[in-house]
A and B are shown apart, each in its own frame.
Chain A
Amino acid sequence: GGFASLAGTQAEKKQRIRSQNIVPCTVSQLLAAEQVDETFRIHDVEISQVTVMGIIRHAEKAPTNILYKVDDMTAAPMDVRQWVDTDEAGGENVVVPPGTYVKVAGHLRSFQNKKSLVAFKIMPLENMNEFTTHILEIVNAHMILRKNLMSASRMPQSFSSGGIGEMGGYGGGGSLPVNGLTAHQSQVLNLIKNCPVPEGMSLQELKLQLQNMSMSTIKQAVEFLSSEGHIYSTVDDDHYKSTDAE
């Protein structure tokens, strides 16, 4: 998104710190996030894309969207809306049944003072240990957000959670060095981010640009980035765009 000029705030030009990462959060943290115009802040850092993990308490299917209520015990269940792709049959738009633990990646929204999430990815958890990891990642991420706020100097590197299986970090670079991505994943993500074509970057193009990376390495990186919500497939499973709107 662009930096729209705000009328009347000439005197205090606050430096806009924006998290380019996907921040794991509790529902309670999302509810407590401060809203300024169209943006949300936690620990004074602008956040947009978040992940939450919780159990589906309720699922309601409408023609264009599925409305879930996701409960992570930190507050009342939160509304999570997933837009249904009316062109695509099956697969993407199966309603996840109540009682299922899921990971949600999406954008925070507020309407009439009520916060909700618009999800671009909802995935049932197959391994509940991911939930434990998510708890730890939340504490880690928010501790880092707070530390960045306090300190004016360069940040120390984050605690990469790469040691715990595939639950890697919050990619991209940008203003917060919370980068738990491997070098390969970062390279792939940056290429996809910088691709101007509407249908995104294809695996073949990635292979052409990343001559020293094997196709299987590229595919692994793409799969990881996709599962973490950094990229999404477009016209088919060979084309990807970055979820980070520039």
Chain B
Amino acid sequence: MADVHEVPRPRIATGHLAQRIGQPVCFVGRVEKIHPTGKLLVLSDGEGKHATVELSEPLDEEISGVLEVVGRVTNQATIMCMSYVQFREDKSPFDLELYNEALKIIHEFPEYFPFG
């Protein structure tokens, strides 16, 4: 299976998941819920819409705040996570709503922000 980190991973919000089944994506959202098994997360995007993220291995650390998830969209429009990173917010909180606005712009102008 091709390493998803070597291909373009369009930045998307929850609303885009259904159109990208099977595709590699990059999703940024705030942690809302962590399933007791540690294998399922619910993140909210900049519009407050929830997305479900599945992990192949249970979490081995405490996570909270804003996560950037790289993975593939499943048939159920969840994200199968291949890797994630926590955005640092020790100096300033991350403005997720502004990020969502930026997403709208890059989706409107793909010629100036190409994925691939």
A→B interface (CB under 8 Å): 26, 28-29, 32, 55, 57, 71, 73-77, 99, 101, 125-129, 132, 135-136, 138-139, 142-143, 146
Contact = CB atoms under 8 A, between A and B. Distances in A.
Interface residues of B, number: 30
Contacts, number: 76
A77 B66 CA distance: 22
B46 to A, nearest CB: 10
B115 A74 contact: yes
Interface in B1-50: 5-11, 26
Given A74-B8, A132-B98, A132-B99, A139 B112 contact: yes
A57 B6 CA distance: 11
B2 to A, nearest CB: 11
B61 interface: no
Interface of B: 5-11, 26, 66, 70, 85, 87-89, 91-92, 94-95, 98-99, 102, 105-106, 109, 111-116
A71 B111 CA distance: 19
A143 B112 contact: yes
A126 B91 contact: yes
Contacts of A139: 105-106, 109, 112-113
- Those 4 A-B pairs whose CB atoms lie nearest each other, nearest first: A142-B112, A127-B92, A76-B6, A128-B87
Contact of A135 (B10, B85, B102, B116): B102
